[in-house]
Amino acid sequence: MARMPSLYIPHGGGPSFFMEGERKQRYQSTENFLRGIQHFLPAQPSAILIITAHWETRIPSFTGGAHPDLIYDYYGFPPETYALKYPAPGFPELAKRAADLIIQSGVPAFVDPDYGWDHGVFIPLKVMYPEADIPVVAMSLHESLDPNLHSHLGRALSALRDENVLILGAGMSYHNLRNFAEQAPASYAFHDWLDKTLAGTWETRSQGLANWQHAPGGYGSHPREEHLLPLMVASGAGSDAPGRPIWRGEIGPTCIGAWAFD
């Protein structure tokens, strides 16, 4: 069996994939990409480890419940979006294995048996794998938001790729909600920089991503870096092979992208 790549994908805007009208139309191309995610994988994964931009902890943490609850951490949306379900099983054994790999790398880790899946987890997975038949574990970001640390965490987890586990960084490569349209030109400059930076070796990628704030369009695209850090984990789980851009699209006037790491 070919080794599973790690991916960085856009998780969308709240529950927009499951709405109607202009909001859904804005995210339709993103939804279409996510629905075809299997085309970028050598096989259906046996399990998914998804790094969410919406969970920050003092110690890198993994959801350890067998049936995690959903966390509807979006606000002001129609009532039906708070009734969405995603009954995929959890995978406590994978959570423990992932935490052990992090600990072996010299960083503390924690398995949380009670924490649920936020919209950075269940929204993209509901599009990608609507049958909800693949076990899922969610992983937090470290509260330091340190890019080098998150690349290190990805490297520690990379062995899971040989076990048919899909390591999935779920964020948004453009996430300036306060000045969404005004910073649209920055989003294109930043994505050009990302394509170039991610085409390097593991070390080159990690060094480049650690300095993302100095990139063209960097701060314009990310006033705060939490939606970019799942990319550091996904890249860190990759080899020295160049990262591959697998999709570039638009949300309104802004650029958005996804990458794979072999």
CA distances from 3 to 18, 43, 114, 161, 262 (A): 32, 9, 31, 6, 8
Q: pLDDT tens for residues 214-256?
A: 999 999 999 999 999 999 999 999 999 999 999 999 999 999 9
Q: Distance between CA 45 and CA 135 in Å, rounded?
A: 9
- What DSSP letter does each residue of 1-21 carry, written as one string? -PPPPEEEEE--STTGGGS-T
For 216, phi then psi, to 5°, come to -55, 125
pTM above 0.95, yes or no: yes
For 117, phi then psi, to 5°, come to -105, 120
State the average pLDDT over residues 80-107: 98
Q: pLDDT tens for residues 32-53?
A: 999 999 999 999 999 999 999 9
- What DSSP letter does each residue of 232-260 carry, written as one string? HHHHHTS-SSPPEEEEEEEETTEEEEEEE
pLDDT of residue 1: 72
Nearest to 179 by CA among 234, 220, 126: 220
CA distances from 137 to 51, 144, 177 (A): 9, 22, 28
What's the CA angle centered on 52, arms 50 and 53, to 5 degrees? 155
Q: pLDDT tens for residues 51-82?
A: 999 999 999 999 999 999 999 999 999 999 99
Domains observed in the chain:
6-261 (3.40.830.10)
Q: Counting Cβ atoms within 10 Å, is residue 110 exposed (0-12), middle (13-18) or buried (19+)?
A: middle
Q: Distance between CA 173 and CA 255 in Å, rounded?
A: 8
Q: pLDDT tens for residues 147-201?
A: 999 999 999 999 999 999 999 999 999 999 999 999 999 999 999 999 999 999 9
pLDDT of residue 63: 98
Contact 67, 47 (CB under 8 A): no
Q: Distance between CA 52 and CA 139 in Å, rounded?
A: 6
Contact 175, 221 (CB under 8 A): yes
Q: Counting Cβ atoms within 10 Å, is residue 230 exposed (0-12), middle (13-18) or buried (19+)?
A: buried
Check pLDDT > 80 for residue 213: yes
